[in-house]
Amino acid sequence: MSQIRELHQQAMDLAQMAEVAKLRGNLTQAEQLSRQAFEKELQAAQLIASDVEAEPTRSVLHRSAATLAIDCGKIHTAERLIAIALSGNPPQEIAEELKDLFVQINIHKYFARRGIAFDETKLQRLMTQ
């Protein structure tokens, strides 16, 4: 478990550095740091993936890795990580967050397949009401 914690901490440090780089306008460095953060978090999640008794750690790491995957444009990987997390026994709150994340990355494709114009602004207003 200490290796998992270490990888997770490294990932979070890299993600924070990526945010700072983004705020400073250094988008190339931000992308590189985000990718490194994702890779570290993915490694941590993979180390615990088969231990379905290791909740909530297992689902939290997978949610975090999925979020970082999205930031890196790795949508298919994010979907897979969400599915792995949900295949265990995540706490209800984390399961809901994982489902919301899945919807967030797929809603545009869902509407496009049905020929419906998706209005992000309206959705944001609905979510804040």
- DSSP class of residue 60 equals H
27-72 pLDDT, tens digit per residue, is 999 999 999 999 999 999 999 999 999 999 999 999 999 999 999 9
Q: Which residues contact 56 (CB under 8 A, 6 or more apart)?
A: 90, 91, 94
- DSSP class of residue 51 equals -
pLDDT band at 108 (very low <50, low <70, confident <90, very high): confident
pTM: predicted TM-score of the whole model, two decimal places: 0.86
Q: ∠ CA 118-123-128 to the nearest 5 degrees?
A: 175
pLDDT of residue 129 exceeding 80, the answer is no
* Conformational region of residue 26, where left means phi above 0, alpha means psi within -120 to 50, and beta covers everything else: beta
Query: Looking at residue 74, what is its pLDDT?
Result: 97
Tokens of 88: 């265990």
- Judge whether 99 and 83 are in contact, CB under 8 Å: no
